[in-house]
Amino acid sequence: MIVDLPSSTTSAVNRKIVELRERGGVLALGRVLTLVIITDDGADIEHSIEAANAASREHPCRVIVLARGQRRAAPRLDAQIRVGGDAGASEVIVLRGYGPLAADEAGAGMVTPLLLPDAPVVAYWPGDAPAVPSEHPVGKLAQRRITDALSARNPLRAFEQRRANHVAGDTDLTWTRLTLWRALLATALDTPPHEPVTGAVVAGETVSPSTDLLAGWLAVRLDAKVKRSPAESGEGLVTVRLDRRSGPVELVRPDGRTGTLRQPGQPDRLVALARREVRDCLAEELRRLDPDEIYGEALLGIGRITRGRTPVKVPAPAGV
C-alpha cells in the first residue's frame, strides 16, 4: 500500500502511520533499527528503496528516505508512506523537502519525530556523501554511517575523503564488497603449509577503491610488503598474489564473475566471486551496529603499501 501526503507535515505523517497500523495491523513491534537514506530528489531513489526493502527481510526496520528537492522552491514537504508488499519487511517513509526544507539541518529536524524509540539509527548515503559524515546533522543522530564511494560522481575523491575523515562508526560499501575476497584469502592461509607471507601483489583498475582497501588490509594483517599495481585487463579488483616459501597463493578474477584460487600442490579451484549487489552489502552492514575496527585499520594500511606502474598480466582462469 502506498499513501501520498502532498504538502504535509511530520505530525500528519506520524498520525497516518498510526492510522494505518490500527486499520491494517501494520506493526512497529520487532523493528530493530531506523535506516535513514539521504539522497537528492530525482536520483535513483527507487533503487535505494529496493535495496533497503531487500535488507529489511533480514533486519526489519523503519526506512526514512530524505529526498532533497529544489532549494529555490517555496517551502513544502511532500510525504509518502509505503507499507505491506510495497515495503518488504519494513515501513518506508519518503520525505521530499523543497526550499528551506531541503537543507541538511531541516532534514534532521524532519527525521527526528519519525525515529523509532529506543532503536539504533543508521544513516546511508547511496550516492554523493558529505566530506565528514559524522558531522552531518543526520550523521550525528546515527550510530552507524554507511557511504558508497564507488557510486559517487568522483569515486577517487570520495574515497580519499573517507580515508581522511574516518571516525568510529563510519563504513563504506567498497569495503563490504571485499568480504568474499577476504574470506577466501584467509581460508587459503589457514590450510597447510602454515608459512609466513613474505610479500603480496594486489592488482586492479587504476581507479578502484576496493583494490586499495584490500592492499591496505593485507599490509596490516600480514605485516608484509604489499604492492598495489594496475591490472593489464579486467574491472575492479582483478588479482591477488601472496608469496610464500613453498609457492604463491593466487586469487584471480579476470571476468568480474568467476575467480580461480591457485595454491601450491593443489588443483586450481573455481570460486563464485561475482560483484556483490548493493542490497547484499547493505544487509551485511546492518548486521553490526558497533564500529568496524578492521575497516579503520585497512584505511590506515593504505599508507603502508607501495605503488607499481607496470601493469600486471592477469593469469588465465582455470581450465584455459
Give the model confidence (pLDDT) of 126-185 as tens digits. Answer: 999 999 999 999 999 999 999 999 999 999 999 999 999 999 999 999 999 999 999 999
**What's the average model confidence in pLDDT over 66-83?**
90
Cell of 69: 528537492
**What percent of the chain has a predicted confidence (pLDDT) above 70?**
94
pLDDT at 46 over 80: yes
Whether residue 35 is predicted with pLDDT greater than 60 in this model: the reply is yes
Per-residue confidence (pLDDT) for residue 1, from 0 to 100: 83
What's the number of domains the chain is made of? 2
CB atoms within 10 A of CB 97: 25
Q: Is 57 left (phi over 0), alpha (psi -120 to 50) or beta?
A: alpha
pLDDT, position 44: 78
Taking residues 240-254, report their average pLDDT.
94
> Does any domain span residue 158?
no
- Give the strand pairing for 199-204 and 237-243: antiparallel
**pLDDT of 28 over the 60 cut:** no
Domain that holds residue 24: 2-147
- pLDDT for residue 304 is more than 90: yes
Q: pLDDT tens across 59-71, in order?
A: 889 999 999 888 8
Q: What is the pLDDT of residue 69?
A: 87
- Asked if 209 and 259 count as a contact pair (C-beta separation under 8 A), the reply is no
Residues 108 and 191 in one domain: no
75 close to 112: Cβ distance less than 8 angstroms: no
Mean pLDDT of 202-230: 95
For the segment 6-24, the average pLDDT, to the nearest whole number, is 87
Residues 212, 86, single domain; the answer is: no
- 187: Cβ–Cβ under 8 A, 6 or more apart, which residues? none
Q: Are residues 246 and 113 in the same domain?
A: no
- Could you tell me where the DSSP H helices lie in 142-292? 155-164, 173-176, 179-190, 209-222, 278-285
| Residue 320 counted as domain residue | no
27 pLDDT more than 60: no
pLDDT of the residue at 83: 85
How much is the pLDDT for 181?
Answer: 96
225 — pLDDT class (breaks 50, 70, 90) = very high
What was the pLDDT predicted at 171?
97
Q: What is the dihedral of CA 55, 82, 150, 110, to 10 degrees?
A: -110
- Cα–Cα distances in angstroms (integers) from residue 187 to residues 92, 176, 190, 320, in the given order: 39, 18, 5, 25
Nine cell digits for residue 111: 527525521
pTM equals: 0.92
In a domain, 265, yes or no: yes
pLDDT of residue 41: 82
Strand partners, 38: 66
**Residue 74 near residue 100, CB atoms below 8 Å:** no
Edge-to-edge strand order for the sheet containing 249-252? 269-272, 258-262, 249-252, 237-243, 199-204, 225-230, 306-307
The pLDDT, as a whole number, for residue 18 is 85
Question: Could you identify the residue written with the cell 579503520?
Answer: 296
Bridge partner residues of 63 (DSSP) = 35, 92
What the block records as the C-alpha cell of 91 is 515501513
- pLDDT at 87 > cutoff 70: no
Residue 159 lies in a domain: no
Q: Is the bond preceding 193 in cis, omega lying within 30 degrees of 0?
A: yes
Residue 308 predicted with pLDDT over 80: yes
CA atoms within 13 A on the CB side of 27: 5
CA 14/CA 230 separation, integer angstroms: 52
Give the closest residue to 70 by CA, choosing from 107, 100, 37, 109. 100
Better pLDDT: 74 or 41: 74
Q: Identify whether residues 76 and 200 lie together within a single domain.
A: no
pLDDT at 42 over 80: no
Q: CA neighbours within 13 Å on the CB side: how many for 242?
A: 27
Confidence of residue 89 (pLDDT cuts 50, 70, 90): low
Query: Which has the higher per-residue pLDDT, 43 or 39?
Result: 39
Mark whether 207 and 118 lie in a shared domain: no
82 & 215 share domain: no
Residue with cell 603499501: 305
| Position 29 pLDDT exceeds 70 | no
How far is the CA of 272 from the CAs of 84, 175, 252, in angstroms?
34, 18, 11
User: What percent of the chain has pLDDT above 90?
Assistant: 70
Q: Write down which residue in 131, 147, 163 finishes a domain.
A: 147
Domain assignment present for residue 157? The answer is no
